Chains A and B, each alone.
Chain A
Amino acid sequence: MNLNESNIIDDYLMGNLSAADRMAFEKKMAADPELQNEVSVQKDIIKGLEQVRVQQLKARLNKIPVSSSAWYQTTSGKVALGVSLLVAILLGALLFNLGDDNNITSSDPVVINDQIISTPEEADELTPTKEDNTDIISEEEDNEIPQLAEGKEKERKEDITQKPVIKPEADKSETFITEKTENNNLVTEEKLDSEKEIANKVDETAETASEASDYNPYRLIEIETTKGSRFGFHYRFYENKLSLYGDFGGERPYEILEINNDNIRGLFLYYEGQFFELDTTQVAVPLKPLDNTEVVQDLMEIKNQK
């Protein structure tokens, strides 16, 4: 077979011949069994090459770590190493008055007010992006999206500053405290002392968020604690809202850490000397202390670095 012929076979098999040339070639092939044979061998060879290449590319992609269940970002390799820490220290001690409104003093971190009865719609408003939406936004790195979202964020910011952060439930035996913090993959630490400060802090974080909207613009996490009888020591993660159930009273604050480094990824709760992993995909889960000492040590280190 000469060079010319093999080129024509290639072109024929790769669909590069014009309709007229193709018909001419097929006519020639019909009368030439040897050519038929050659074409069928070449067809197999091209198929084999394709298969080898597809496997090679797949093997390449398989080496790249990805996960669809986690909600942190690993966008570009450079940023992935960064430790993302969201620390919201909530002074739990004074938050649970169990319907005893007289307990509230001016030093209370958050004022509990039972005149405002929140509706589910209101809660939705405070979490404007549904999970899916947030996903798409955080996946996008194109500039248009963060800009768009920046607008949204400003609205959201206003929401937060204007609306009381507390949402007592109609049922007075349960008290809900809701705080909002924003995380922009920056190392943030927030100690919230008064409602006003919450608003200020949120403002600040939001500003840094729009500045560094390189990727993963922000994530809104709503934390809600409930001292109720329905669950013991439980948590629930739903539509970007974290609800904690159980007795978080006493003098000690609890902390929420969002961590994204080489060894540890995920959301953790620190309370009374123990770390708990928060699975953001489950419904209501009892809290169990982590027992992997290595992870606990790492977490302790990160926590103390703040």
Chain B
Amino acid sequence: MKDQEILERISKGDETALDYLYKKYYRMMSRIVITNSGTEEEAKDIYQEALIVFWQKVVSGNLVLTSKISTFLYSICLNLWRKELDRKSRLSREEKDNPESMDFEQEERLRIITECINELGDTCKKILTYFYFDGMSMQNIALNLGLANTDTAKTKKYKCKKRLDELVKSKYSAGDFLD
């Protein structure tokens, strides 16, 4: 598959094109991490994150690619790995002073929300993640989910979101996060 075809397919939200890309550059990209004091596991993680960044940019139409896909992915991997190395060294320095101060409340809220999202039906889950994470257009959402048209997708998205809001708010008040 050529870059152009990959881009076209991804921009429509075709996840098999992502699989293809993943395999195609796996070794090239994981090498960046492995040859820079990373493990295979870390390499995989970084490459997956880079691909997801790429995916999101292409699906949402926020990417004008002037280079080859491989070059672009390479630079994302490099940046992500630099950040990770940075974070690691900072962590080891700070460990002595403040033992981890994770935002417990934030974590708990996210946990509740994830629970609520998983209570939604499959279509709702897809519509909302496609819209809020992928930044997919309503037209492509309708296409991918086999909905009649953009308006159907919009209505469906609105209903799903309302349902999620209600679920979250009912659980939030039960957990006393809101005053």
A residues with CB within 8 A of B: 3, 6, 14, 37, 41, 44-54, 56-58, 60-62, 64, 66, 68-69, 74-76, 132, 135-136, 139-142
Of B110, B117, B125, B168, which one neighbours A41 at CB under 8 angstroms? B168
C-alpha gap A74/B52 in the complex (Å): 21
- By Cβ-Cβ distance, the 5 closest A-B pairs, closest first, are A48-B113, A53-B129, A53-B133, A68-B30, A66-B26
C-alpha gap A48/B164 in the complex (Å): 11
Q: How large is the interface on B (under 10, 10 to 19, 20 to 34, 35 or more residues)?
A: 35 or more
Q: Which residue of A lies closest to B106 (CB)?
A: A44
B133 close to A54 (CB less than 8 A): yes
Per DSSP, chain A at the interface is: helix
Q: Could you say which residues of chain A place their CB within 8 Å of the CB of B52?
A: 54, 57-58
Per DSSP, chain B at the interface is: helix
Q: Could you say which residues of chain B place their CB within 8 Å of the CB of A37?
A: 178
The reply to whether the CB of B150 lies closer than 8 angstroms to some CB of chain A is no
A141 close to B24 (CB less than 8 A): yes
C-alpha gap A105/B27 in the complex (Å): 47
Of B31, B70, B134, B165, which one neighbours A45 at CB under 8 angstroms? B165
C-alpha gap A55/B134 in the complex (Å): 13
Q: Indicate the member of A56, A66, A75 with the most B CB atoms within 10 Å.
A: A66
C-alpha gap A42/B128 in the complex (Å): 13
Known: A41-B168, A45-B168, A52-B125. 8 other contacts (CB 8 A): A45-B165, A49-B132, A52-B129, A53-B134, A60-B18, A66-B44, A69-B40, A139-B70
A61 close to B22 (CB less than 8 A): yes
Check A50/B23 contact, CB under 8 A, given A45-B113, A45-B165: no
The reply to whether the CB of B148 lies closer than 8 angstroms to some CB of chain A is no
C-alpha gap A202/B89 in the complex (Å): 51
Q: Could you say which residues of chain A place their CB within 8 Å of the CB of B34?
A: 68
CB distance from A55 to the nearest CB of B (A): 9
Q: Could you say which residues of chain B place their CB within 8 Å of the CB of A142?
A: 2-3, 68
A61 close to B129 (CB less than 8 A): no
C-alpha gap A74/B172 in the complex (Å): 47
Q: Could you say which residues of chain B place their CB within 8 Å of the CB of A48?
A: 110, 113-114, 116-117
Of A51, A135, A141, which one neighbours B1 at CB under 8 angstroms? A141
C-alpha gap A203/B3 in the complex (Å): 32
Of A49, A58, A75, which one neighbours B133 at CB under 8 angstroms? A49
